[in-house]
Amino acid sequence: MKILVTGGAGFIGSNFIRLILNRRPGWDLVNLDCLTYCGNLENLKDIEKHKGYRFAHGDIADRVTVDTLLSEGFDAIVNFAAESHVDRSILDASPFIRTNIEGTLILLEGAQKYGIKKYVQVSTDEVYGSIENGSFTELSNLAPGSPYSASKASADLLALAYWNTHKTPVVITRCTNNYGPYQFPEKLIPLAISNVIEGKSIPVYGDGLNVRDWIYVEDHCNAILSVLENGKVGEIYNIAGSSEKTNLEIVHTLLELLGKKQDMMHFVADRPGHDWRYSLDDKKIRRELGWAPSYDFNRAMEMTVDWYKQNDSWWRRIKSGEYSKYYERMYHHR
C-alpha cells in the first residue's frame, strides 16, 4: 500500500504518519507539505529516516507539483493539508480559500486522473455549525459559521460532487476538537499549557462557556485508519470524543494538572461569530467500522500536559520565532 499524506508536518498529520509506520509496517508513505507557519519537520524527527517514509516539499494547490507526485503511482490519498485556525481565518480568509478549497480540488482532480483507490478528506465538526441541544448526524445540514469552516464545508461539497459525478472514491471524516502532542501553540490547549509554564495567564474568550467535544489525537488517527481501510466510498463518518467541556472546564483542568491557582486566567474579548457548541453523533462509525475512542479524557489530558512539560524546547522555539509576531498582533490588546 502506497499512500500520499498531505499536511503531514502539522499536528494531526504527523501523529497519523507515526501511527501508520508503527501499525502498518509494510506501507509506504509520502508526506506532501509546503511547511506553512505551522508545518514543522521537527514533528517527524524520530521517523524521518524510516524506510517507509519520504518527505516531499510542495503545495497541494500547485497542479504541477501534485500531478508530478501522483504520476509515481499511489493507492490512496489522505488529505490533512489545510489552514486550520479559526482566528486566522477571521483576520484573512484568502489562504483558507486557496489551500482548503483550491488545494482539495487539485487533489480530487489528481485522484481521478491517476485512478486512486481511496481518497480520504479530513474534515471537521465545524462544517455543521453550532448546535444548542442534541448532536449532528452525517445527514445534518451544513451551516458553517467562520471563514475557516466555510472553506472546509466547500471542500466537502466538492469531494461529494466528485464522487457523484466522476465516481472518484471519496470518503469524508468529520472530527471534533483534537488535543495531544505537537499541536501548534495557537490553539487553546497548547496555548494554555505553554502560557502557564511561562508564568503567563490564559486568555479565555467571552464568558468561557462555549462547548467543544475533545478527542485525543491518537483516537482520531485510528478512526482515519479505519475509514481508509474499511470506509465505504461516497460516505461521511462523524468522529467524536464523547468529552464535551466548556472552555472554562478545560482551563480549570489544565491549571489543576499544572499545580497552579485557578486565577491564572483572564477573560478577553470574544471571537467574532464564536460558535457556541459543537456536538456530533458518531453512531455510524461505531456501528459500521467498529471504531470507538480508547483514551479516557482525564488520563489523556494528563499525558498531554506531561508531553508539553517534557518538550518545552519544541514550543518555546515556535513561540519565540516568527510565531511570536503573530501572537503579539493577535493578543497585544488582551
125 binds ligand DAU (CB under 6 A): yes
Exactly one of 53, 119, 128, 148 is catalytic; name it: 148
Place of cell 460516505: 235
Q: How many residues does the chain have?
A: 334
Strand stretches in 7-65, DSSP E? 28-33, 53-57
Q: In sequence order, which residues have a C-beta less than 8 Å from that of residue 158 and are 6 or more positions away?
A: 101, 104, 105, 108
Q: Which does 35 bind (CB under 5 to 8 A by kind): ligand NAD, ligand DAU, none?
A: ligand NAD
Task: Tell me how far apart the alpha carbons of residues 307 and 115 are, in angstroms, rounded to a whole number.
Answer: 40
Cβ neighbours of 308 (radius 10 Å) = 24
- Catalytic residue, chosen from 33, 83, 126, 186, is 126
The CA distance from 217 to 10, in Å, is 12
288 neighbors 232 (Cβ within 8 angstroms): yes
CB under 8 A, 24+ apart: contacts of 322-326: 322/37, 323/37, 323/184, 323/185, 323/186, 326/37, 326/186
> Is 181 among the residues that bind ligand NAD (CB under 6 A)?
no
Cα–Cα distance for residue pair 280/164, rounded to 1 Å: 25
- The residue annotated as part of the active site, out of 125, 186, 213, 219, is 125
Residues numbered 161-180 forming contacts with ligand NAD, rule: CB under 6 A: 175, 177-178
Which of 27, 205, 307, 326 touches ligand DAU (CB under 6 A)? 205
Q: Does residue 126 carry a catalytic annotation? A: yes
Q: How far apart are CA 31 and CA 98, in angstroms?
A: 19
In the complex, residue closest to ligand NAD by CB = 10
Which position among 74, 80, 136, 278 is part of the footprint of ligand NAD (CB under 6 A)?
A: 80
Query: Which residue has the CB atom at the shortest distance from ligand DAU?
Result: 124
Using CB under 6 A, which of 5, 60, 188, 224 touches ligand DAU?
Answer: 188
Is residue 125 annotated as a catalytic residue, yes or no? yes
* Closer Cβ to ligand NAD, 82 or 285, answer by number: 82
Q: Considering only 44-52, 107-115, 200-208, 255-263, which stretch makes contact with ligand DAU by CB under 6 A?
A: 200-208
Residues that bind ligand DAU (CB under 6 A): 84-86, 124-126, 176-177, 187-188, 191, 203-205, 210, 212, 247, 271, 278
Catalytic residues: 125-126, 148
Residues that bind ligand NAD (CB under 6 A): 6-7, 9-13, 32-36, 38-39, 59-61, 80-82, 84, 99, 103, 122, 124, 152, 175, 177-178, 184
